[in-house]
Structure 1
Amino acid sequence: MRIGMEIVTYDWAGGPQRIADTLTAAARSADDAGFSLIGVPDHVWQSPPMGAVEQPFLECFTVLAAIAAQTSRVRLAPMVAGVHFRAPGMLLKQISTLDVLSRGRALLGVGVGWYPDEALGMGVPFPSVGERFAMLEEALRIRRQLGQGDDRPFVGEHYRLDRPLNVPAGFSGALPPVLIGGGGPRTLRLVAGYGDACNLYPGPDLADKLALLRRYCDEAGRDYDAIEKTCILPFDVSTPEATKALIGQLGDLADVGVQTAIGILAGPEPLRDVEVVGAEVIPAVGDR
């Protein structure tokens, strides 16, 4: 099993003047410790239940670019980009730029988004969930067309691109892989149709969701095994007992078929948490 992390708070000691230092130290430590991925939430307000909206929060792609400059191995991903925040062409340009500047380490996490108060508070339209699913599918179709080098006009219900052109597509010449966040049937169908990875939450129905994804892959003619199965969950390493319990939980997830576990590290000392995960958790689950 591979281990990733998601940075979900910036309310650290020292205030804004120390955020860059704390972020750099945690990212470098994760890179050195063998973390597989660093994810950053695509929000502009702190989101419940992580904290009050008035707590400090930073913009996703700017943070990812800063992390890219301080690391050399770890993958980098928005977790996950809300489709309502940006036009698909701009989102794809942002992720391909990150991929080039990180030398091929970008992963496009994308989903239908949530948190209407944040969007409307900042003047961003927030359509219904049904509309956002339709927008997401169109965005994935646009990504596929761009990936094929087809610059003919794209005309959909929600988006029109007169000339879909994105040069360079990415560090290797191809668009970065895409992770689609969410575990409902509609999302899993999109994963089977367009995704390189899924992102689920742990729970008693996790095995059922993976079985449903396998069925959708069969229907779509996709190789289920080619899709990376990721799971996101809080990592509590505050005590030796909590760390031991986490290792057991991760082992159970690996047994179900999860390949990458992404730990939500929400504590006030991110460097300390990263060091504990690197020293105790990664060695314990790396061969699962």
Structure 2
Amino acid sequence: MTIRLGYQIPNFTYPGPVEKTFDTVAAQAREAEAAGFDTVLVMDHFYQLPGIGAPENAMLEAYTTLGALASLTEKIQLSTLVTGNTYRNPALLAKTVTTLDVVSHGRAILGIGAGWFEREHHDLGFEFGTFGQRFERLDEALQIITPMLRGEKGVLDGKWYTARGAMNNPRVRETIPVMLGGSGEQKTFRLAARFADHMNIICDVDDLPRKVAVLRERCEEIGRDPATLATSYLVMGLVGEDEQEVKELGESIPEDRRNRAFLGTASQVAEQLQEKVIGAGIGGITINLIRNGHRPGVVTRVGEALKPLVAA
């Protein structure tokens, strides 16, 4: 199953005591499941991102969080948007996401990207390298990971990684879907065409038609039917219950995300997404509600408005 309607949780700073943080995350995941979202996603970061909050703001480790959510949900898929390849050995990552798949009874998706947040790498001691090196590493990692997700042994004697017949058991499915996240037309899209089942495009909304066209070209270059690579788009949702709240939310849009943010009531945002995202040829929507998604009822209202846009 692919992602048609995803709910991303990128913010873990909520009113109330810190020991209730995960309870609030779990409540959003359960509400998303009940509201018809097919996937819940968390960021794979250790510090909060610029534009959302201060670096020292709360940030939960992704796979620990997803493993806990697996026990508190029943049918919703679980993924990162997206795993930073630079943070984990690829064979270990294959084992991690496969364990999540076992724990969740077949609901894991491996979201993965090259990694980009330099301060995290610096502070935590991960090698950052150059832009080109990070994509070399992602290419090699996928050569190890994708066979392991199919139950084959991971084998590679590469420049960056080595795997000597890495095994990956137990498994509950023939394979686990792989989703790449990003917008790079030369590197990310080519890797998606080669390795991925799903491409989540992260870019300004006005760039979407070109991105969709280029992604199709990358598939055709290697003889892949573009229809076999599912697509979705990451939306920053600033969704108010009424016009007063919409006005207040509009004042909080980060400057660098104004061309990725959608502002309005749930029905107004749905209309915008129908025109600018679905109309651009994208098959699915992943939305976050960074300002008020933790408030009970908001996720439900947004899910009800967006479900008709992605109905099969």
Question: How big is the shift at 1:190?
Answer: 0.7
Count, aligned residues = 285
Any stretches of 5+ residues in structure 2 without a counterpart? Answer: 244-263
Question: Is the counterpart of residue 257 in structure 1 residue 281 in structure 2?
Answer: yes
Q: 1:217 to 1:66 in 2, by over 3 A?
A: same
Among 201, 206, 216, the alignment partner of 1:214 is 216
What is the aligned partner in structure 1 of residue 53 from structure 2? 51
Q: 1:248 — aligned with what?
A: 271
Work out which of the residue numbers 267, 270, 275 in structure 1 matches 2:291: 267
Provide the rounded CA distance (Å) in 2 between the counterparts of 1:147 and 1:66.
21
Distance of aligned partners of 1:106 and 1:150 in 2 relative to their CA distance in 1, 3 Å threshold: closer
Q: In the alignment, is the contact (CA less than 8 A) between 1:77 and 1:109 conserved in 2?
A: yes
Match of 2:31 in 1: 29
- Say which SS state the counterpart of residue 205 (structure 2) adopts: coil
Instruction: Name the % identity.
Output: 34
Q: Which stretch of the first structure deviates more once superposed, 92-101 or 138-147?
A: 138-147
- Amino acid across the alignment from 1:276: R
Matches within 5 A, 1:89-238: 89-147=91-149, 149-151=151-153, 153-168=155-170, 170-172=171-173, 174-185=174-185, 186-201=187-202, 202-238=204-240
- Specify the alignment match of 1:79 in structure 2: 81
With over 3 angstroms needed to count, the CA separation of the structure-2 counterparts of 1:254 and 1:47, relative to structure 1, is same
Q: In structure 1, what is the Cα distance between the partners aligned to 2:143 and 2:305?
A: 41
Secondary structure of 1:103's match?
Answer: coil
Does the CA-based 8 Å contact 2:94-2:149 persist in structure 1?
no
C-alpha separation between the residues in 1 aligned to 2:192 and 2:136? Answer: 14
The one-letter amino acid of 1:248's match is: E
Range moving further from structure 2, 31-40 or 138-147: 138-147
Task: Please tell me whether the aligned partners of residues 75 and 107 of structure 2 are also in contact (alpha carbons under 8 angstroms).
Answer: yes
Q: Give the superposition deviation at 1:149.
A: 4.5
The letter for the 1-side match of 2:198 is A
Aligned-partner Cα distance in 1 for 2:13–2:76 = 23
Residue type of the alignment partner of 2:9: I
The answer as to whether partners of 1:267 and 1:273 remain within 8 angstroms in 2 is: no
- Flag the 1:140–1:56 CA change in 2: closer, same or farther, 3 A: same
| Conservation of the 8 A alpha-carbon contact between 1:230 and 1:259 | yes
Q: 1:96 to 1:149 in 2, by over 3 A?
A: closer
Counterpart residue type for residue 74 of structure 2: S
Q: 2: distance between equivalents of 1:281 and 1:145? A: 35
User: How many Å separate the matches in 2 of 1:118 and 1:150?
Assistant: 33
Partner of residue 281, structure 1: 306
Counterpart residue number, 2:261: none
Tell me the CA shift for residue 145 of structure 1: 3.1
Letter matched to residue 98 of structure 2: S
Unaligned runs of 5+ in 1: none
Which moved further from structure 2: 101-110 or 246-255?
Answer: 246-255
What's the C-alpha RMSD, in Å, of the aligned pairs? 1.8
User: Following TM superposition, by how much is the alpha carbon of 1:286 offset from its aligned partner in structure 2, in angstroms?
Assistant: 4.0
Distance 1:152 1:44 in 2: 28
C-alpha separation in 2, matches of 1:139 and 1:8: 25
Q: Please list the CA deviations of residues 218-248 of structure 1 after superposition, one character each: whole Å capped at 9, or x if unmatched.
A: 1212121111101001112113451233111
Q: TM-score, normalised by structure 1?
A: 0.93
